[in-house]
Each structure stands twice: as C-alpha cells, then as structure tokens.
C-alpha cells in the first residue's frame, strides 16, 4: 500500500461511519501498547508532538502511557495552530490532566537548551507522511535535539521518523506505523498496529477514491482533460450525447464524433460536434478519427453506434489501432466480442452489464458478490485490461485487485444511465487516472448522482436528469 491509500482509506472509513476520532484513538493506543510491550512500564517518557494529526496521535499515546509511566508532552509550535478537530480535542484532554506534564516549545533557542538525559523513551510525533522537503523551525531543532539522544534513550516514531525521507530526520529505533506497511518506507524498522479499518475498505469505492481522481492539474483550457466520444447511428443519437454530456462536467473539452444524419439532432454549445458522412460509421472514417485522437487524452467508443456489419468492422479496427486509453461500451462491446485479440497492448475499460459480459466471455456472472468479483478479476486478467461489470453492485477489476461500488438505486435501470457512466469513466481517464481508478470512481459518481436525483424526484427519472446532477455529486465529494 502507498501513503496516498492511507488518505483514501481514512475518507472512506469516515463514509462508513468510522470517525477520525476513533482512528486517532486506536492509533495512539497502538503506539502506547507497543512501547510498553517492548520496554515495560514505570518509564520516564518524553513525547514530542507537532500541531498536525501525527501530533494528535502523540497526545493520545501520552494519555494511554500516563497510566503507568511518568509522561511529559512537549508541544513543538503554537497550540492555536493545532489543525484538526480531533487533535485539538485530545490536546484539551491532556491539558485537563494533572499527571501529564506539558511544555509548549515555540522557540528554537529553548529547544536547543533542553536536557532530555533523564528520559528512558523519547516519542517522535512531530510530522506525518504528508510533509514535503526538509523540516522547518522549530521542528527542525526538535529533530536535532531528539537525535542527540540516539543510542542513549529509546526513540520511537509515530508512523514514520519525522523529516523522512529528507536528510534531516529523526534517528528512530523503530516507527509504529498503522494497518499496513507503506511502499515508500525503507531504511528504518517498522512495527505495524491495526487501528480499526474493516476489510471492506480493501474493496469498497468511496469518496476518498473520488477526491484523488478529481484533482485538477492546470489553469489553462485543455489541461484538465480532452475527451473524444465516438458513437451514434441512423437509429440512435441519444446515447453518445448522454455520454458526452456526463463527461463535459469533468473535463475541459469533449469532442462528439457522430454520423452526419443523427448529428443533425444535436445542438449543445458545451460540446464540439464532429459529424462524419453517412448514417453509420465504417472503415472509410477510420483515418480521420484516428487523427482526431491525437488531439485528445482518452476516447469513449460504442454508445449508440449500432450493429451494422461495416460498423462492427470499423470498431474492431479502431480499437486495434488507437493509442489512447479507451472506454468500450454498449454496441462497441458486441463488436469486439467477435475478436478480443484487438485489445492486445491497448489501455482500456470495458463496461458490460451481465448480458454483455456473457456475450464477451461466454459465461454468466454468478449471484454472490465475492464469486462475481472473482470471475470479473479472472476475465480482466485474461484480457489485460479493466472490466466494469454493471449491476446492483458494480464490480471493477484490473485482474490484480477488485473493487465494488454500492452507490445507485433501482431508478437507474432507465435507459441511458450506462451511457452517462461511460462518459464519466472516459473523462476520468482523460484527467490522467489509471483505468482501475477511472472505472471505480466513474461508477461511484454515476451512482451518487443517481441517488441525488432519487432524493429529489423519486425513482422515476431520466438519464439526462442524472447527468445534470454530476456537478452536485462532485461538489459533495470535494466537501466531504
């Protein structure tokens, strides 16, 4: 797991009802327990806490340790700058106790003159994993002071040695890190303690995933994603429009390529319409569309594209030759089902419902969540891409891991909601997300928007109503 996953899991845990207070309490208690298991009780312990959540974990650990040890807490920085509600709460508890000594150190000169020679254990809860670059004063002086006692007292860091991976970091005997080891950590001993995350969080898609996926990259037009949607036929014009409309709320530019006949029915100033001669796509359009892909970051192909033989040939050839990440949806799936070899070496997400999944892979998805997930994972591994199986719970896999999404409701059986989903997944790919994250977060946002429509209108709504709620769903994620 990576450091970013910690933030995602914390947000998703909150969504499940596990509060940041609970996680901080469990983290601090785990640190205290580890210290007593390693070094016994009746110790003199100095706790150096910063003003962030790492410091909050230190406050909790100090409280737990104070029961059978002599504890002094050194707050490095201004108490008015203690950032989070839960860290402030735990600081307030410490200030109300008589048996934990507290010293506030705002001044580097005072830190430099500290004598820590009487302490058995020094706990470092100064900086967490989110800190970049070399530590600034007064934390830098606190790190240097702790390091003076390396080899004399036992030094224990909370989560990771403060200042790591810069040159100026605490020389800890070990760090107590939470729930699992992190890919980025090396060169120091780690003890892992559990803090109450349920197993659910390995697989559940939540607002934490969405928050990271929706980060904007630049200030100029086109820097935040350009998407090409290819779809429509003599019979269908709504599907590619819905995919484009859903995507248009997330990316800067959406090109909608359609046959000229159905394109006449589209008028939306937010989209860049590219009509192609005729009623259906065929191989004669291939070179021009491949040239158009050079302007974009990702492609959605398939909504409403139809099943004319010439169109299916066009889809297969386009997929075989397209260099950009793709979402293949609806009739596009039926076209490639005849030759899955066209996917080789491509970056893609397939978005089948149960019926399309059977057509693609010749096997019907089973009923149970885990059995269904294992089948999706196996098929994703076989084809070397991401499969998003739509259903009451959407299941997403890249062949290595699997996720499931539980936003959404029965109102979403209405036609067109899958087209909006394809557009959202394409938009997230265009923003530079991995196919697995794009598919997972696309499913989450689509379902969340559907839940918002249901709250307003009940279970009878259209896909366009759902698409219009995408900005509201994004706002909810950003504010969560």
Contacts of 456 (CB under 8 A, 6+ apart): none
Query: Rounded to an integer, what distance in angstroms lies between the CA atom of residue 289 and that of residue 262?
Result: 17
CB 349 within 8 A of CB 443: no
- Among 137, 139, 110, residue whose Cα is nearest residue 126: 139
pTM for this structure?
0.94
What pLDDT is attached to residue 222? 75
Mutual orientation of helices 53-65 and 85-95 as an angle, nearest 10°? 30
**Residue 130 confidence (pLDDT):** 84
List Cβ neighbours of 203 (8 Å cut-off, separation of 6 or more): 373, 402, 403, 404
pLDDT tens digits, residue range 263-298?
Answer: 999 999 999 999 999 999 999 999 999 999 999 999
* H or E element in which residue 397 lies: strand 394-397
Per-residue pLDDT of the chain (480 residues; tens, 9 = 90+): 899 999 999 999 999 999 999 999 999 999 999 999 999 999 999 999 999 999 999 999 999 999 999 999 999 999 999 999 999 999 999 999 999 999 999 999 999 999 999 999 999 999 999 888 999 999 999 999 999 999 999 999 999 999 999 999 999 999 999 999 999 999 999 999 999 999 999 999 999 999 999 987 777 877 899 999 999 999 899 999 999 999 999 999 999 999 999 999 999 999 999 999 999 999 999 999 999 999 999 999 999 999 999 999 999 999 999 999 999 999 999 999 999 999 999 999 999 999 999 999 999 999 999 999 999 999 999 999 999 999 999 999 999 999 999 999 999 999 999 999 999 999 999 999 999 999 999 999 999 999 999 999 999 999 999 999 999 999 999 999
pLDDT of amino acid 174:
98
DSSP H or E segment with residue 258? strand 253-259
* Cis status, amide bond into 427, omega within 30 of 0: no
- Give the span between the Cα atoms of 347 and 338, in whole angstroms: 19
Furthest C-alpha separation in the chain: 86
* String of DSSP letters for 21-90: HHHHHHHHHHHHHHHHHHH-SS-EEEEEE-SSHHHHHHHHHHHHHTTTSEEEEEEES-GGG--SHHHHHH
pLDDT at 292: 98
Half-sphere exposure of 417 toward its Cβ, with a 13 Å CA cutoff?
26
Give residue for tokens 């120091």. 188
- Neighbouring residues of 16: CB distance < 8 A, sequence distance ≥ 6: 198, 200, 201, 204, 206
Phi, psi of 101 (to 5 degrees): -80, 140
């Amino acid at each position: 797991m990576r450091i970013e996953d910690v933030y995602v899991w914390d947000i998703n845990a909150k969504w499940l009802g596990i509060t940041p207070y609970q996680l901080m309490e469990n983290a601090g208690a785990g640190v205290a327990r580890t210290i007593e298991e390693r070094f016994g009780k009746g110790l003199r312990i100095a706790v150096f806490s910063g003003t962030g959540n790492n410091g909050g974990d230190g406050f909790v650990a100090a409280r737990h340790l104070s029961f059978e040890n002599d504890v002094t807490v050194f707050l490095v920085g201004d108490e008015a700058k203690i950032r989070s509600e839960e860290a402030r709460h735990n600081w307030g508890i410490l200030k109300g106790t008589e048996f934990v000594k507290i010293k506030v150190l705002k001044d580097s000169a005072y830190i430099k003159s500290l004598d820590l020679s009487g302490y058995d254990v020094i706990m470092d809860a100064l900086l967490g994993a989110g800190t970049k670059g070399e530590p600034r004063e007064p934390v830098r002086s606190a790190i240097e002071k702790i390091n003076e006692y390396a080899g004399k007292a036992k030094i224990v860091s909370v989560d990771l040695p403060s200042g790591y991976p810069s040159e100026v970091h605490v020389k800890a005997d070990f760090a107590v890190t939470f729930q699992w080891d992190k890919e980025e950590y090396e060169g120091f001993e780690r003890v892992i303690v559990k803090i109450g995350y349920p197993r659910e969080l390995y697989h559940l898609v939540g607002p934490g995933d969405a928050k990271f996926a929706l980060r904007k990259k630049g200030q100029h037009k086109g820097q935040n994603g350009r998407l090409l949607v290819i779809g429509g036929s003599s019979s269908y014009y709504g599907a590619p429009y819905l995919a484009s409309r859903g995507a248009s709320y997330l990316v800067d530019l959406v090109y909608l390529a359609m046959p000229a006949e159905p394109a006449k029915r589209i008028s939306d100033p937010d989209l860049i319409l590219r009509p192609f001669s005729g009623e259906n796509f065929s191989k004669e359009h291939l070179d021009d569309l491949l040239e158009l892909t050079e302007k974009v970051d990702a492609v959605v192909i398939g909504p409403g594209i139809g099943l004319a033989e010439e169109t299916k040939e066009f889809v297969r050839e386009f997929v075989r030759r397209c260099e950009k990440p793709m979402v293949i949806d609806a009739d596009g799936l039926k076209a490639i089902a005849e030759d899955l070899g066209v996917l080789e070496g491509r970056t893609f997400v397939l978005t089948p419902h149960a019926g399309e999944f059977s057509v693609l892979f010749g096997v019907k998805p089973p009923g149970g969540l885990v059995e269904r997930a294992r089948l999706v994972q196996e098929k994703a591994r076989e084809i070397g891409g991401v499969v998003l199986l739509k259903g009451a719970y959407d299941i997403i896999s890249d062949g290595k891991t699997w996720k499931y999404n539980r936003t959404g409701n029965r109102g979403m059986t209405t036609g067109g909601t899958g087209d909006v989903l394809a557009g959202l997944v394409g938009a997230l790919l265009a923003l530079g997300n991995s196919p697995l994250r794009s598919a997972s977060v696309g499913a989450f946002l689509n379902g969340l928007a559907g839940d918002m429509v249901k709250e307003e209108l009940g279970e009878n709504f259209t896909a366009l109503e759902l698409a219009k709620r995408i900005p509201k769903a994004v706002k909810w994620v950003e504010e969560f």
